Structure 1
Amino acid sequence: MSTETPELEYTFKDFASANTPESFMQDQEMNANLRDNGVGLVPNMAGIDIQDLSGTFACGCIWAYLTIPMGWHIFEDGQRTLVFNEENTVQINFDLHDRGEFSDEQMIEQVIAQIAEAYPEAKWITMELAGMKTVGFRGIPIEDVYVDQIFMVMDRPERENAAMLIRITCDPEATVRTMNMVEVMLRSLQVIQ
């Protein structure tokens, strides 16, 4: 008798908070507010999957097609692509960087140095997730709550000397679920050559 637990294969449907694409529309209230205040725009939609409750977007800031669950929001401000929930308690930030001479490990070391200096009370641990160098922080104060932040470095070999820094910010109770969703999003990511 096997004691191994089968690994769950999540889909976007598991993380959707709506069954319509309203949160993807430029004129949806929150998206229109971001646009009208010069914060950013919803990227161009490349497709909708009604069965899996997801939408795919052409994200120019990261040179990639990114799929997210329905009920979530996405915008770009010319520097980054940001995915967040309606309550804005979970944010997933995608930022394409010129890595210079830095390896993935050195990029993570830079993040650790910056966060440790700004928030010396925060606890942190390094790891590798989905083949990416990663650091997770717990106990970062934002306004009146403490959050987790996870930073992942994704190599982008199709773009000369590029790496994508992914930053996940959420309540500690939401970290596991959010990371499972990020895994589904990264599986869907298709680079634009």
Structure 2
Amino acid sequence: MTSSTFVQRDFAPRIANLGFSVDLPDSWQAQDLPEEEPAFDDATRLFGLAAVAAPYAAIILVASARPAFDEGTVQDWALWLIQQHQVQPSTLGPASLGDLPAILGQCAVQGDFGPMTMFFAFAEDGGRLLHLSLIGPDALAAHVFEVWQRVLASFRLAAPQGATVLLHAQPEVMTAAPGDDMTLPDISSFALAGGRATLEQTHPINQALLEQGKGFAPRIQAMDEDNGRAWVVSPALQAVLAVPLGWHLLDDSRRLLLLHPDSSVQISLEQLPAPEGDLQALLGRIEAQARADYPAPQCQRIASGATVGLAVFDIDDGAEPIAQLHLLVAGNAPETALRARVTTTREQAKMAGDLGEVLLYGIQFQMEFEPPAPDDDRPEWAREADALEAQDRLEEAEQAMRRGCDHIGVLMSIAHMYRRRMLRLAQAGDTAGAAHARSKAVEWAYSYAGSATSGGEGAALSMERDDFIRELGGQ
């Protein structure tokens, strides 16, 4: 399906001065709602504010509201209402609906036309409980997800009054006990048996990852083999940092990845925007996304010196529960943060988290960074595809990549090609071209996740897809 043209739609208030606006595809049609009086003596009842449907498929957005309840948080109310309607959410957690703090979720629904997915949001404003839902067939999942992301970004109340209750219970922060040794270990203590070879592009694993479009091994600037460490140059971070020998490194220009040889630990280093330098607010957004992505994650805030973090346990990847640690320190530029996102098992979380923190503190920014310009040792199909894309011969570029690489990873490589195109066109002021490139990136990311051959692989590829789409940002 081609990318939609979105327009702002304004809806007049039907009760409680709840008028609102939201961006929707221009072809969607508002539906007539019955004329009825609100009946809130039934605590499960909500009053319809608007309904808008797609003309080409069973996709519909519904907005409704009721008075807020007397006790509890928005998350408490959302859970109770969901239970009353016998809905089993696959994800549920705090995020945002436009400018409103909100509880977002997702669930599977069996409709008349087959399996469907429903996205929903609950928010409170001035004692009014708002509910939005978007439902559509799984066959159009990419399009429904695109619309939902636009709804979340654009929703605005005409007369906001402000939140009067907590969105959810406030998290506890785990800090070091008095007397605990907070000294960071040396990077050398994390070295593995593979030595220098694992850092070089010629290593078979690094070559295979390159063929799959995952990224390049960064240039080695200095080596200390006796102490099991090296310093590498990262274009993604625009910095030099110390790393342990025996691990695999990949730089895809967006982030630097450190991979354990047996794939039991993955550490992603990247720069993130942090408005006003507020690391706790950034952690809140990361936690909200984690709660929206996973059915029942266990979240724990962490504070250690200049590092703040979030530990997310009991993430189901389809094989065994995994853990993620999100560690943040202030970035080199104003209103930025450095994040080490650690993915591993719960048993290895302490070791991997320590390594993530050591990596963060070892980053040395270069004021005038110039990425290295080695010989282009990418596969021929990758160079051919780049040349075709630069000439706007997009279908030929896609075909060149699929001919040249017989691996499902090439589908994500195509998605990354469109991401680079999106950024280039946006910088040049071509908003329409950038929007088209973004839609193609999303489309290929969904194709990649849909190519999994097992449940465990499907969960892992879906996580990668969702991370990729989040990093694309809004249109």
TM-score under structure 1 length normalisation: 0.89
Assess if the C-alpha contact under 8 Å between 1:19 and 1:53 holds in 2. no
- Equivalent position of 2:302 in the other structure: 127
Aligned to 2:197: 22
| 1:192 equivalent in structure 2 | 366
- 1:65, distance to aligned residue in structure 2 (A): 1.2
Distance in 1 (CA, whole Å) between partners of 2:326 and 2:181 is 27
SS at match of 1:172: coil
Amino acid aligned to 2:364: Q
Closer, same or farther: CA 126–7 of 1 in aligned 2, 3 Å: closer
Give the aligned partner of residue 146 of structure 1.
321
* 1:161 pairs with 2:368: no
Report the equivalent of 2:230.
55
Aligned match for 1:183, one of 323, 338, 357: 357
Letter in 1 for 2:186: T
Partner of 1:39: 214
Q: Which range is displaced more, 110-119 or 92-101?
A: 92-101
More helix by proportion, 1 or 2? 2
Aligned ranges 1:81-96 → 2 under 5 Å: 81-96=256-271
How many residues were matched structurally? 189
The TM-score normalised by the length of structure 2 is 0.38
Asked if 1 retains the 8 angstrom alpha-carbon contact of 2:271 and 2:338, the reply is yes
Aligned to 2:273: 98
Aligned AA (2:187):
F
Query: 2:195 & 2:288 partners in 1: Cα distance?
Result: 42
Partner of 2:239: 64
SS in 2 for 1:48: strand
In the alignment, is residue 171 of structure 1 matched against residue 345 of structure 2? Answer: yes
Change (3 A) 1:8 1:124: same
Identity %: 20
- Residues 39 and 5 (structure 1 numbering): CA distance in 2 closer, same or farther, change over 3 Å? closer
SS in 2 for 1:21: helix
Give the C-alpha shift of residue 5 in structure 1.
Answer: 7.5
Superposed displacement of residue 13, structure 1: 3.0
User: In 2, distance between residues paired with 1:6 and 1:115?
Assistant: 30
More strand by share: 1
User: Contact 1:12–1:52 at 8 Å: present in 2 too?
Assistant: no
Measured against aligned partners, the alpha-carbon deviations of 1:103-146 in whole angstroms (never above 9, x if no partner) come to 21111000111111222311111121341221101101123111
Structure 1 residues 30, 186: CA separation in 2 closer, same or farther (over 3 Å shift)? same
When residues 141 and 102 of structure 1 are mapped into structure 2, their CA distance, relative to the original with a 3 A threshold, is: farther
1:180 Cα offset (Å) = 2.2
Distance 1:6 1:87 in 2: 30
What letter is aligned with 1:162? T
Q: Which runs of 5+ in 2 are unaligned?
A: 1-178, 368-475
- For 2:201, what is the secondary structure of its paired residue? coil
Higher RCO, Cα 8 Å, sep 6+:
1
- Does the aligned pair in 1 maintain the 2:270–2:339 contact within 8 Å? yes
Distance 1:107 1:125 in 2: 15
SS in 2 for 1:71: coil
SS in 1 for 2:322: strand
> Unaligned stretches of 5+ in structure 1?
none
Question: Equivalent residue for 2:5?
Answer: none
Distance in 2 between residues matched to 1:122 and 1:78, nearest whole Å: 30
- The answer on whether the counterparts of 2:277 and 2:335 sit within 8 Å (CA) in structure 1 is no
Residues in 2 aligned to 1:113 and 1:183: alpha-carbon distance in whole angstroms = 22
**Post-superposition shift, 1:40?**
0.5
For the residue of structure 2 that corresponds to 1:47, the secondary structure is: strand
For the Cα contact (< 8 Å) 2:279–2:308, is it kept in 1? yes
- Give the stretch that moved more between structures: 80-89 or 126-135: 126-135
Alpha-carbon contact 2:271-2:337 (below 8 Å) kept: yes
